[in-house]
Copies of this chain bind each other. A is one copy, B any other.
Amino acid sequence: MTQALLHFEDFPVGEIAHYGAYRLTREAILDFAREYDPQPFHLDDAAAKQTLLGGLAASGWHACAIMMRLNCDGFLLNATSMGAPGIDEVKWLQPLRPGTELSVRRTTLEARTSRSRPGMGLVKFLFELLADSQNVVMTQTCSVMFGRRLAA
């Protein structure tokens, strides 16, 4: 059964959704860090213990990339998404450890139609990356552009 394509109108302000299950392995942490963020606290256990992170933890950009994937699978690939103009804010709140299962809690903060593009609307979300469905390890706010149902 395919779900109907999500449009701007399908994200009521105040709605909360929870989705995704991504098991973060040590190997994935090291692979990402080697390519994009080779700081010692993302690559080496002993070095990481001496730092503020207190042990090996994923790059914050790895957390962002994983959240993007969870958002794609969770709703964006089944929506009229036209991408995002940017990110309002990212907060890395806790170290992201190997073995954690990650999911996303999405809260719809605002929704407004575009003046310059009547067929489009912007929805502002708070995305929280949850470790083992409990601890919030990262928050992110951003606005995503969607096609409007009325315009289709």
- Give A residues with C-beta under 8 Å from B: 32, 35-39, 41, 51-53, 59-61, 64-66, 68-69, 72, 76-77, 81-92, 145
Contacts and interface: CB of A to CB of B under 8 A. Distances in A.
Nearest to A91: B86
**Copies of this subunit:** 2
A89 B65 CA distance: 16
Contacts of A76: 39
Nearest to A64: B61
A41 B80 CA distance: 12
Contacts of A145: 52
B68 A37 contact: yes
A80 to B, nearest CB: 11
Nearest to A138: B86
A33 B76 CA distance: 14
A82 B57 CA distance: 13
